[in-house]
């Protein structure tokens, strides 16, 4: 079983199943594992998914105050290999974006493990246990260790995630409702690994950096509309519905880096009740819109991965549907691109 958070009514008809711990306070440490399922590894993966909570508890027991949590996501291709029955309505492979100047690639990813805690050793130990269980059945294709950087800042020096909704507004933004009743209480998550050109960024005066982001650097205040450029990151990540209401996601981004390799980046992770909200933001960033060709932050920050996952409810993972017939997943080409 997975630990429960978010909507938590009883499992009666018409109620919302219990959700994975998507909406939690900002973590000091995070570990992101993206995994592809090897041919023939489906049963091993299904067994692990039902045991994630027990493994988490075995690690968290050593340090209860450190708030160890884990969210599991499942990709589109893997879903059809692991489960029979209905699919989540909006689950599909990550949609690659190729603009006039910048490119958002789609990369392989069948499973996502988003592990968070106040200490990295707990994250690492839980991820190690996952990898041991998956040995011979799945391959880790990307691993990122994220850390809190001062007062929730990214390596560009700006506060990240300050526009996240809170409380019931956050739950409404990230958890599926009656629009897909079979999967109420689930969510969707998009991840991208961005690498920063720190030399070019550091060459910009602070005032110019603020125009790229759309917020002040020190005080973390959004620039007034008359000053904020149309191609700033904040401007292009503001999307609204047909009634003019702003649509929200919950970002749990983390900085990461490797000094020896000259690697400095941000791991973007955005949860939403439908991926269309995050995809609208990405389209604005990479393809632009009438008043802006692209998000200026992309001149300094380049994505090298891109995956989309459904985050099932705890009830689903505790009691999953049967595996589909072998013929349904015997064709080659299991991973998403």
Tell me which residues are annotated as active site: 160
Q: What span, in angstroms and rounded, lies between the C-alpha atoms of 151 and 162? A: 11
Cα separation values, 23 from 54, 113, 118, 244, 269, Å: 20, 15, 15, 25, 12
Cα separation values, 167 from 1, 7, 15, 195, 269, Å: 24, 11, 19, 31, 19
Contacts (Cβ under 8 Å, ≥6 apart) of 116: 24, 27, 29, 30, 67, 68, 69, 70, 123, 252
Structure tokens at 26: 């900002």
Task: For tokens 């493994």, name the residue.
Answer: 55
**Partners of residue 265 on adjacent β-strands:** 195, 256
Residue 314 near residue 16, CB atoms below 8 Å: no
Residue 105 near residue 96, CB atoms below 8 Å: yes
If you ran DSSP here, which 8-state letter would residue 19 be given? B
Q: What span, in angstroms and rounded, lies between the C-alpha atoms of 68 and 60? A: 6
């Amino acid at each position: 079983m997975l630990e429960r958070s978010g909507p938590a009514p009883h499992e009666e008809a018409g109620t919302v199943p219990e959700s994975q711990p998507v909406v939690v306070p900002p973590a000091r440490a995070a570990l992101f594992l993206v995994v592809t399922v090897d041919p023939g590894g489906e049963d091993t993966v299904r067994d692990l998914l039902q045991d994630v909570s027990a493994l988490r508890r075995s690690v968290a027991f050593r340090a209860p105050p450190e708030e160890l949590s884990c969210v599991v996501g499942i990709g589109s291709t893997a879903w059809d290999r692991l489960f029979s029955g209905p699919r989540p309505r909006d689950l599909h492979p990550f949609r690659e974006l190729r603009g006039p100047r910048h490119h958002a690639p789609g990369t392989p990813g069948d499973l996502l493990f988003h592990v968070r805690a106040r200490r990295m050793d707990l994250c690492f130990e839980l991820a190690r246990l996952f990898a041991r269980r998956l040995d011979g059945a799945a391959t880790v294709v990307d691993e990122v260790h994220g850390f809190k950087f001062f007062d929730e800042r990214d390596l560009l020096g700006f506060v990240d995630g300050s526009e996240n909704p809170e409380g019931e507004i956050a739950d409404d933004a990230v958890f599926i409702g009656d629009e897909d009743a079979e999967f109420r209480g689930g969510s969707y998550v998009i991840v991208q690994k961005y690498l920063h050109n720190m030399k070019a960024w550091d060459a910009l005066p602070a005032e110019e950096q603020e125009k790229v982001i759309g917020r002040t650097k020190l005080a973390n205040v959004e620039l007034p509309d008359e000053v904020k450029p149309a191609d700033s990151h904040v401007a292009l990540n503001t999307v609204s519905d047909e009634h003019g209401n702003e649509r929200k996601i919950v970002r749990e981004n983390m900085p990461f880096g490797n000094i020896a390799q000259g690697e400095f980046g941000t791991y973007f992770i955005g949860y939403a009740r439908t991926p269309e909200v995050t995809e609208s933001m990405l389209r604005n960033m990479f393809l632009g819109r009438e008043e802006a060709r692209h998000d200026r932050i992309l001149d300094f920050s380049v994505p090298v991965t891109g995956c989309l996952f459904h985050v099932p409810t705890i009830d689903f993972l505790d009691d999953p549907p049967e595996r589909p017939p072998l013929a349904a997943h015997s064709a080659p080409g299991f991973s998403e691109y």
